[in-house]
Amino acid sequence: MWEAISSQNASSGSPKVPPSGDGRDLLLEIRDLRVHFDLGGGTLWDRITGGSPARRVVKAVDGVTLVVRSGETLGLVGESGCGKSTLGRAILRLIEPTGGQIIFRGRDLARLSREEMRRERRHLQMIFQDPYASLNPRLTVRDIIAEPLETFGLTRGLETEERVRDLMRKVGLSPRFIKRYPHEFSGGQRQRIGIARALALNPKLIVADEPISALDVSIQAQIMNLLKRLQREFDLTYLFISHDLRAVRYVSDRIAVMYLGKIVELAEARAIYEEPLMPYTKALISAVPVPDPTIELTRRRIVLEGDVPSPLDPPSGCRFRTRCPYAIAQCAEVVPPLVEIKPRHFAACIRISPDEPQIERVAAGEAPGLKRAS
């Protein structure tokens, strides 16, 4: 089966979405989502000289189509600057999307009025990397966790207090600390406060943006265990954003790999790690250091050259081509669509196809994916 689910096919009608073959309901369906930041016309130099006033637009998210199923954890990985946070925030409309649809429980969030969106946000919450920056330092833990409850008028008076205590216990914080301020807690405990607040309204979906990146190894393990436990207990769905591939592998059911605004590979977590198809994914995984000296000393690492190119001026065609060891001339010409290469394993590369998914085995100069794409 061939199913392209990227924006490149959007021109020919709405893009198709992979079937939810495992029987879980779709909770969220993102179609051709775009978030562009318009930085205004030209550079300062252009403005002074009156030279080409080309508008400078960062296409941080550029045609993303994804589904998230009820109760799953979808991991989102990629180097920094690839658009992961922008995608996560756009789903909650903390950033306004430029185009596309965000269908959540049957409604397109992108089309809701501010007031409607505010009400819907009950079901969509976010956890941030730096819990300190995201918690109001002048509020006590009680007020931080109670705020969403009070805003939505869900609880009153003593009931609020009881619910806050209950949430604190759920995330492993002693209710004795209810009157304390964020700065009196360690990083890991602050992250627990952020999680309690996110849980307060019984959300369906939590977007966790690098929730463990700032924490010590031992605390990372504690927070990952907590998130997993809460997922079972509250039937939560997570979009788990991280640049730590070991952590993403551990918590995710499926993983989407992002590069310069596009999803380039999408599959079950095990498949992404054990049988990655995209040269980019292979390089990412091979770059992760393994805490095992015998493996480290014997394995061959694919070291990617250079940095992620500027999103202001991304490469034509496949955006990865400037760093890809397998790039050929055609890679500059065609934007590769995200295609189902193996069952439920999608990749965006013109040099692979369902007949030959191993790029290492494709004959020099061949682009088997190109014929099917056109």
Partner 1 sequence: MDGILLSIRDLRTYFYTEDGIVKAVDGVSFDLRRGETLGIVGESGSGKSVANLSIMRLIPEPPGRIVSGEIIFDGEDLLALTPREMRRIRGKRISMVFQDPMTSLNPFMRISRQLMELTQLHLGHTKRQAYAHAIEMLERVGIPDARMRVDSYPHAFSGGMRQRVMIAMALACEPELLIADEPTTALDVTIQAQILELIKRLKRETGMSVILITHDLGVVAGMADRIIVMYAGKIFEIAPTAKLFATPANPYTKGLLRSVPDPARDAGRELYQIPGLPPDVARLPPGCPFAPRCALAQERCRREFPPFVQIAPDHHSLCHFATEVYAESVREKEAKGASDLNPL
Ligand X SMILES: Nc1ncnc2c1ncn2[C@@H]1O[C@H](COP(=O)(O)OP(=O)(O)O)[C@@H](O)[C@H]1O
Please state the φ and ψ torsions of residue 256, each to the nearest 5 degrees: -110, 130
Which of partner 1, Mg ion, ligand X, none does residue 217 bind (CB under 5 to 8 Å by kind)?
A: partner 1
Choices 80-88, 178-186, 313-321, 353-361; region in contact with ligand X by CB under 6 A: 80-88
Choices 66-74, 85-93, 211-219, 347-355; region in contact with Mg ion by CB under 5 A: 85-93
- Residues 309-328, interacting with ligand X (CB under 6 A): 311
Measured distance CA(161)–CA(82) in Å, rounded: 41
Phi-psi region for residue 21, left (φ > 0), alpha (ψ -120 to 50) or beta? alpha
Q: Which of 120, 127, 122, 84 is nearest to 103 (CA)?
A: 120
Would you count residue 85 as binding Mg ion (CB under 5 A)?
yes
Residues β-bridged to residue 124 = 205
Q: Which is nearer to Mg ion, 103 or 258 (CB)?
A: 258
Q: Which of 274, 253, 255 is nearest to 264 (CA)?
A: 255
- List the one residue from 6, 86, 125, 237 that touches ligand X (CB under 6 A): 86
DSSP string of 111-151? GS-HHHHHHHGGGEEEE-S-HHHHS-TTS-HHHHHHHHHHH
Measured distance CA(264)–CA(76) in Å, rounded: 11
Which of partner 1, Mg ion, ligand X, none does residue 37 bind (CB under 5 to 8 Å by kind)?
A: ligand X
Tokens linked to 361: 């085995």
Which of partner 1, ligand X, Mg ion, none does residue 311 bind (CB under 5 to 8 Å by kind)?
A: ligand X
Which of Mg ion, partner 1, ligand X, none does residue 307 bind (CB under 5 to 8 Å by kind)?
A: partner 1
Would you count residue 85 as binding ligand X (CB under 6 A)?
yes
Q: Which is nearer to partner 1, 25 or 292 (CB)?
A: 292
Would you count residue 194 as binding ligand X (CB under 6 A)?
no
The alpha helices in 171-278, defined as continuous H runs, are 187-199, 217-234, 245-251, 269-274
Measured distance CA(119)–CA(124) in Å, rounded: 10
Q: Which is nearer to ligand X, 18 or 81 (CB)?
A: 81
The burial of 61, by beta-carbon neighbours within 10 Å (0-12 exposed, 13-18 middle, 19 or more buried), is given as buried
Please, what is the minimum distance in Å from the beta carbon of residue 341 to ligand X? Answer: 24
Please, what is the minimum distance in Å from the beta carbon of residue 34 to ligand X? Answer: 12
Cβ atoms of residues 374 and 368 within 8 Å = no
Would you count residue 368 as binding ligand X (CB under 6 A)?
no
Tokens linked to 18: 């992979």
Residue whose tokens read 């021109």:
11
**Residue 282: C-alpha distances to residues 75, 206, 274, 288 (Å):** 16, 28, 10, 10
Cβ atoms of residues 200 and 168 within 8 Å = no
Cβ atoms of residues 231 and 238 within 8 Å = yes
Q: Which is nearer to Mg ion, 9 or 85 (CB)?
A: 85
Would you count residue 189 as binding Mg ion (CB under 5 A)?
no
Which of ligand X, Mg ion, partner 1, none does residue 157 bind (CB under 5 to 8 Å by kind)?
A: none
Q: Which is nearer to partner 1, 96 or 292 (CB)?
A: 292
Cβ atoms of residues 141 and 178 within 8 Å = yes
- List the one residue from 60, 193, 226, 373 that touches ligand X (CB under 6 A): 60
Query: What 3-state DSSP class applies to 276?
Result: coil
Query: What 3-state DSSP class applies to 64?
Result: strand
Using CB under 8 A, list all residues that contact partner 1.
79-80, 186, 188-189, 216-222, 224-225, 228, 243, 245-247, 249-250, 270, 273, 283-284, 286-297, 301, 303-304, 307
Cβ atoms of residues 224 and 256 within 8 Å = no
- Residues 126-185, interacting with Mg ion (CB under 5 A): none
Would you count residue 86 as binding Mg ion (CB under 5 A)?
no
Would you count residue 73 as binding ligand X (CB under 6 A)?
no
- Residues 40-59, interacting with ligand X (CB under 6 A): 58
The DSSP code for 101 is E
Please, what is the minimum distance in Å from the beta carbon of residue 186 to ligand X? Answer: 12
Q: Which is nearer to ligand X, 199 or 206 (CB)?
A: 206
- Residues 1-30, interacting with ligand X (CB under 6 A): none
Would you count residue 7 as binding Mg ion (CB under 5 A)?
no
| Chain positions contacting ligand X, by CB under 6 A | 37, 58, 60, 78, 80-86, 311
| Chain positions contacting Mg ion, by CB under 5 A | 85
